[in-house]
Structure 1
Amino acid sequence: MTSPPPNGPPAESRRGGPRFSVVICAFTERRWDDVHAAVASVRAQEHAPEEIVLVIDHNPALYERLKASLPDVLVVENREERGLSGGRNTGVAVAHGDVVAFLDDDAVAAPGWLRAFSAHYADPFVAGVGGMTLPMWPGSTPSAELVDAPVPSSTGTRPRWFPEEFDWTVGCTYRGLEAGPVRNLMGGNASFRREMFPVAGGFSSGIGRGVHSRPFGCEETEFCIRLRQRSPESELLLDGDAVIWHRVPPERARFSYFRERCYAEGLSKALVTRSVGTQDGLASERAHALRTLPRGVLRGLGDACRGDLAGLGRASAITVGLAWTAWGYALGRRAARRSAPAAPGGVGGVGGLGGVGGAARPSGEEPVR
């Protein structure tokens, strides 16, 4: 018989429900309204959180402003390296809840978000639960209005060429990802038992957003795979009722960003496989590329035959997106082989990709997140 994860049955099972610490990482004053809308949506949860932790990424002015503006929120400065991974690790370190949930600073959660997460943690084998992230395209409800009413009345207009199979490029749930057991959760809409972070080792600062100018990702993918490798009995689940809406700014609804994000994802996947191996690191991606994407191309061509000419654009975007992701991965793997070996349990750093990964962020320039 399989044993429960480390530390035995969770304490919250004896209290009837987990206590949540919700961690939001912020880095720029340009998202002032977004951050306040995110916090408002957490305050409005049907399952009230134990605390809201707002981590500010190496921006003292923003830290002081938000600390004054949100006196009921625990506002702290990132104590680790600049970037999303360091911010999340800082949030975990100060959290007191049984479960740590993560919400992006440019997203709002539906009122039942934490309640949906909570239902799964009665099972001691569940180490983490994620949810469905829906896009708020350009033209959606402004964040200033979401502060008073966190559920958007409008989600804007999706570009007609943009395939749902690639919604991950804007941080959202994509076609082909289904509720149930999953390999990894998407970091902007995820929760984990706090006791699992010492087991997994935290988020790697060598992967993800905030260090370089390119839109890297996959820090949560690498973390989840590492968690499962170190605690094979643990399960990660995706719940379709744990809904958040994630804002897509106009510049990310353009084909140029789409292509750049795909290329950066390939580079990021090279770092992931360097850390956790190709079998685990690419298992979901192979299935998506071999099953979901070909169906998406055929769907787009079929739509075009039925009079929706934008279907040709969607089919073409899927083809280009896959090609650029594969190209980034190939170049990343080649560059990684020339660099020093990765440290045990983590990644040596994005710098290992050298010029392929893009230059480090110049002083004063905000990272892409």
Structure 2
Amino acid sequence: MSLSVVICCYTAARRVQLIRGVQSALEQAGDRDEILVVVDHNDALLADLRDSLPHQITLITNEFQRGLSGARNTGVARSRGDVVVFVDDDAVLATGALDGARAAFEDPTVVAIGGAVRAEWAVGSGPSWFPEEFGWVIGCDYRGLPACGERIRNPIGAAMAARRQALVEIEGFSTELGRVGDLLAGCEETLMGVQLQSRFPGQRIIRHTDFRVDHHVPADRATLRYFTRRCYQEGRSKAVLTRISGRQAALSSERSYTTSVLPSGAWRARRNPRRLLALVIGFGYTTAGYVTGLLLSTRSAAAA
């Protein structure tokens, strides 16, 4: 089982984390594996990495529309492995992570996996007000995720993998979704999961925690301002996803999250008023973003 590890980057601000991530992949890659670093429309960063990365790395530029989805699609188009492994440019593979990913795909019914994503806070630990249920805000695991081996709708983008041919058949990631520069949008992984399940109904997407990364969380993400911005943009992205895939597919996981995970989170936070308030604020901003996104989509459709 050969792996193509794809790491997408767009800014020199994460250069230190990127080099660490590349090194962690190099230490684990097998003879038939490859590591591709995709630079998203940043010529200065491309030139810098050309002089900095080891010769074993395939360094390429995003050949499609600017943004994370286009960069990932470039990686898929240039990859040769049986499985494409996506790792964020600010994440480091834990020891044995690639072997863990490889083992998961020995099961022919598995079409994609989501790994475990542990937060590596630059400030040492998460702020006391930060709710565990909102780990997705910083691109990490959160309370409420299924156990290892269980089915999931979609993986977390910092650590995910899928069979290359399956990604080709669904035409990769939608450029209507996903981050572009510092815009805090998302949901391209969700649409990928929805499309994979639709195209391959007999196969599964599972959470596989032997495939694990440590995800760097900079100090500016440990703020309420970032928290609310990210929640709002997630809601906006969910509205776009709803328009593309329908409400049932777009919100299938969110129903249990809002009716079970969040209420139990509120109960757990009852002795921490700031965390309880953050939980309520996060839900409110996400909902506001979703409603705004739906209204904008309706207006655009009416104008067309």
Tell me the TM-score normalized by structure 2: 0.95
How far apart are residue 67 of structure 1 and its match? 1.6
Aligned residue in 1 for 2:170: 200
Query: Is 1:330 aligned with 2:299?
Result: no
Query: Is 1:174 aligned with 2:142?
Result: yes
Partner letter of residue 40 of structure 1? Q
Structure 1 residues 255 and 48 mapped into 2: Cα distance closer, same or farther (>3 Å)?
farther
Deviations 1:91-137 (A, max 9, x none): 00011110000000001010211111111212212101111101111
Q: Aligned pair count?
A: 300
Distance, in Å, in 2 between the alignment partners of 1:29 and 1:46 is 25
Aligned residue in 2 for 1:62: 45
Aligned residue in 2 for 1:184: 154
Taking only the aligned residue pairs, the percentage that are identical comes to: 41
Deviations 1:247-271 (A, max 9, x none): 1111110011101110110000001
Q: 1:277 aligns with which of 240, 246, 250?
A: 246
Partner letter of residue 177 of structure 2? I
Structure 1 residues 88 and 68 mapped into 2: Cα distance closer, same or farther (>3 Å)?
same
Query: Is 1:157 aligned with 2:141?
Result: no
Aligned residue in 2 for 1:33: 16
Partner letter of residue 41 of structure 1? S
Distance, in Å, in 2 between the alignment partners of 1:175 and 1:128 is 21
Contact 1:45 1:110 in 2 (8 A): no
Q: 2:4 aligns with which of 13, 21, 27?
A: 21
RMSD across aligned positions (CA): 1.5
How far apart are residue 49 of structure 1 and its match? 6.4
Distance, in Å, in 1 between the alignment partners of 2:98 and 2:189 is 19
How far apart are residue 340 of structure 1 and its match? 4.0
Aligned residue in 2 for 1:216: 185
Matches within 5 A, 1:80-99: 80-99=64-83
Partner letter of residue 179 of structure 2? R
Query: Is 1:258 aligned with 2:242?
Result: no
Distance, in Å, in 2 between the alignment partners of 1:24 and 1:163 is 28
How far apart are residue 31 of structure 1 and its match? 1.3
Contact 1:266 1:324 in 2 (8 A): yes
Contact 1:46 1:111 in 2 (8 A): no
Aligned residue in 2 for 1:131: 115
SS at match of 2:127: coil
Mark the runs of 5 or more structure 1 residues left unpaired by the alignment: 1-17, 140-155, 305-310, 342-351, 353-369
Contact 1:46 1:112 in 2 (8 A): no
Aligned residue in 1 for 2:236: 267
Contact 1:22 1:103 in 2 (8 A): yes
Deviations 1:323-358 (A, max 9, x none): 1111110110111112249xxxxxxxxxx9xxxxxx
Q: 1:76 aligns with which of 60, 65, 76?
A: 60
Partner letter of residue 281 of structure 2? V
SS at match of 1:58: coil
List structure 1 runs of 4+ shifted beyond 6 angstroms: none
Contact 1:222 1:276 in 2 (8 A): yes
Distance, in Å, in 2 between the alignment partners of 1:314 and 1:47 is 44
Query: Is 1:293 aligned with 2:254?
Result: no
Structure 1 residues 233-242 or 81-90, which shifts more? 233-242
Distance, in Å, in 2 between the alignment partners of 1:47 and 1:279 is 40
Structure 1 residues 323 and 121 mapped into 2: Cα distance closer, same or farther (>3 Å)?
same
Partner letter of residue 171 of structure 1? G
Mark the runs of 5 or more structure 2 residues left unpaired by the alignment: none
Structure 1 residues 165-174 or 122-131, which shifts more? 122-131
Structure 1 residues 194-203 or 267-276, which shifts more? 194-203
Contact 2:35 2:57 in 1 (8 A): yes
How far apart are residue 186 of structure 1 and its match? 1.1
Partner letter of residue 175 of structure 1? R
Q: 2:90 aligns with which of 106, 112, 118?
A: 106
Distance, in Å, in 1 between the alignment partners of 2:174 and 2:208 is 25
SS at match of 1:195: helix
Between structure 1 and structure 2, the one with the greater Rg is 1
SS at match of 2:269: helix
